[in-house]
Amino acid sequence: MIISLKKTDSEIAKLILKEEMRQQESLIMIPSENYTSLAVKEALGSVLTDKYSEGYPGKRYYQGNEIVDQIERLAIIRAKKLFKVVHVNVQPHSGCEGNLAILFAVCEVGDPILSQHLYMGGHLSMGQQASVTSKYYKPYYYGLTKEGDINWQELESQAKKYRPKIIFCGGTGFTKIFDFAKFAKIADKVGAYFVADVSHIGGLIAAGVHPSPKNHAHIIMTTTHKTLRGPRGAMIMVTKKGLKKDPELSLKIDKAVFPGLQGGPHNNNITALAVALKEASGFDFQQYAKQIVKNSKALADKLIKYDFKLIGNGSKNHMIWIDLGNKNIDGWTMAWACEGAGIICNRQSIPFDKKSPYYPSGLRLGTPAITTRGMKEKEMALIANWLNNIAEYLKRIDLGNIGAKDKEKDQLARKKFKQRILKDQYILKIKEQVQILCHKFPVNSIVNSIVNSINK
Kindly list the residues in this chain that would bind ligand DSN in the complex (CB under 6 A).
32, 95, 123, 172
407-439: b (≥16 Cβ within 10 Å) or e? eeebeebbeebeeebeebebbeebbeebbebbe
Taking the least distance from each CB to ligand DSN, the nearer of 199 and 291 is 199
Taking the least distance from each CB to ligand DSN, the nearer of 339 and 424 is 339
Q: CA angle, corner 249, sides to 90 and 281, nearest 5?
A: 35
**Active-site residue, 197 included:** yes
Taking the least distance from each CB to ligand DSN, the nearer of 51 and 225 is 225
Taking the least distance from each CB to ligand DSN, the nearer of 95 and 362 is 95
Shortest distance in whole angstroms from residue 80 CB to ligand DSN: 24
Cα–Cα distance, 59 to 338 (Å, whole number): 50
Of 338, 285, 284, 269, nearest to 308 by C-alpha is: 338
**Active-site residue, 52 included:** yes
Taking the least distance from each CB to ligand DSN, the nearer of 112 and 230 is 230
- Number of other CB atoms surrounding residue 46 within 10 Å: 13
Of the residues 51, 176, 226, 297, which is catalytic? 226
C-beta of residue 216 within 8 angstroms of C-beta of residue 196: yes
Phi-psi region of 208 (alpha: psi -120 to 50; beta: other; left: phi over 0): left
Q: Cis omega before residue 259 (within 30°)? A: yes
Q: What is the CA radius of gyration of the chain?
A: 23
Shortest distance in whole angstroms from residue 95 CB to ligand DSN: 5
**Active-site residue, 347 included:** no
Cα–Cα distance, 437 to 296 (Å, whole number): 18
C-beta of residue 175 within 8 angstroms of C-beta of residue 104: no
Taking the least distance from each CB to ligand DSN, the nearer of 31 and 112 is 31
Shortest distance in whole angstroms from residue 96 CB to ligand DSN: 8
Taking the least distance from each CB to ligand DSN, the nearer of 32 and 116 is 32
Of the residues 97, 197, 254, 330, which is catalytic? 197
Shortest distance in whole angstroms from residue 323 CB to ligand DSN: 18
Q: How far is CA 83 from CA 96, 105, 201, 218, in A?
A: 20, 21, 12, 13
**Active-site residue, 414 included:** no
Of the residues 20, 25, 54, 301, which is catalytic? 54
Taking the least distance from each CB to ligand DSN, the nearer of 197 and 279 is 197
Shortest distance in whole angstroms from residue 225 CB to ligand DSN: 10
Shortest distance in whole angstroms from residue 397 CB to ligand DSN: 29
Cα–Cα distance, 53 to 266 (Å, whole number): 9
CA quadruple 37, 367, 88, 140: dihedral, nearest 10: -150
The torsion angles phi and psi of 434, rounded to 5 degrees, stand at: -60, -45
Cα–Cα distance, 261 to 90 (Å, whole number): 14
Of 121, 128, 77, 168, nearest to 320 by C-alpha is: 121
Cα dihedral sign for 206, 209, 213, 219? Answer: negative
Shortest distance in whole angstroms from residue 191 CB to ligand DSN: 28
Shortest distance in whole angstroms from residue 227 CB to ligand DSN: 11
Question: Which residues are catalytically annotated?
Answer: 52, 54, 197, 223, 226, 232
